[in-house]
Amino acid sequence: MNSLIPVSDEQAKAIGITVEALHSLLGWCGKVLGTIPEDLVGLLIGDKLHLRRAKNLLGYQAEVDQLLRARGVPNPQEVSASVALPLLEGAQNESRSELRDIWARLLANAMDPTRAGRVRTSLVELVKSFDPADALAIQEMGRVGGAVGDPNIQAPTQMDKMAASLGLTFDVLDVSLERLVEFECLIRRTPTKEENRRLFSLAPKGRLLLAAIEK
């Protein structure tokens, strides 16, 4: 145990992590922020639950660095603490693969001088509220051109095909699309007076989110 890492080898090994790995993690977080504030140490390391979150965050380091290398970013920039701290907090709390991918992209884009302006604090807070199906649905909306209708409008099986392509049931996709409307990422229209006919399309916030998580 030392003054920076208030954790013993035994405490770290109990959850399958080493003190050396924690040093590496804090060093990487310092690279993101340009410094290692004391409150970040408390955020990542402080009790057994925090250690598990730190273990979650360790997996992002290699992925984010790989994204930046693949993009040809030689000098990733430091991220403002007002953005970086919520980003790191959201990332360390997430273990579900669909959402970890989103957090990795947000972190990489925040460090990319050409994309940093896309990563808004409001979008970071939005992603904290996402379920995995929500993340899949908003990305698929971007891939299909930004609009999709239910089975009673346009292509009869449009939403069924989207659900199948994502490995979701129709009901799970339906709930996620409606949630994305509540989050103001999508707009729902009813082209006719029949309430069971709906058309979902990307709203401005949804397009901003897709830009922020672009790979």
Establish if 50 belongs to a structural domain.
Answer: yes
Residue 99 and residue 149 in one domain: no
Residue 114 and residue 169 in one domain: no
At residue 201 the predicted structure's pLDDT band, cuts being 50, 70 and 90, is very high
The whole-number pLDDT of residue 7 equals: 45
Give the total number of structural domains in the chain. Answer: 2
Q: Which of 127, 147, 163 is the last residue of a domain?
A: 127
Residue 188 and residue 154 in one domain: yes
**What's the chain's average pLDDT?**
79
Q: Which of 127, 145, 177 is the last residue of a domain?
A: 127
Run of H or E including 42: helix 38-44
pTM of the model: 0.77
Residue 19 and residue 76 in one domain: yes
How many other C-beta atoms are found inside a 10 Å radius of the C-beta of residue 149? 18
- CA atoms of 126 and 197, how far apart (whole Å): 27
- Range of 137's domain? 132-212
CA distance to 8, 109, 118, per residue, from 1 (Å): 5, 34, 39
Residue 89 and residue 109 in one domain: yes
Q: What is the mean pLDDT of residues 10-17?
A: 50
Establish if 3 belongs to a structural domain.
Answer: no
Residue 107 in tokens: 């972190």
Establish if 4 belongs to a structural domain.
Answer: no
CA distance to 15, 36, 176, per residue, from 22 (Å): 12, 13, 36
How long a stretch of residues is the chain? Answer: 215
Q: What is the mean pLDDT of residues 65-79?
A: 90
Residue 107 and residue 157 in one domain: no
Residue 97 and residue 81 in one domain: yes
Residue 196 and residue 154 in one domain: yes
Q: Is 46's pLDDT higher than 50? A: no
Residue 189 and residue 137 in one domain: yes
- CA atoms of 111 and 105, how far apart (whole Å): 10
Q: Is 168's pLDDT higher than 90? A: yes
Model confidence over 176-189: pLDDT tens digits? 999 999 999 999 88
Q: Which of 100, 127, 154 is the last residue of a domain?
A: 127
- Which candidate, 110, 187, 200, places its Cα nearest to that of 147? 200
Residue 161 and residue 116 in one domain: no
Model confidence over 125-159: pLDDT tens digits? 999 999 999 999 999 999 988 888 765 555 446 88
CA distance to 31, 39, 58, 90, 104, per residue, from 100 (Å): 20, 23, 12, 9, 6
Q: Which of 87-96, 125-134, 160-169, 191-200 has the highest mean pLDDT?
A: 125-134
Residue 35 and residue 86 in one domain: yes
Residue 87 and residue 141 in one domain: no
The whole-number pLDDT of residue 23 equals: 58
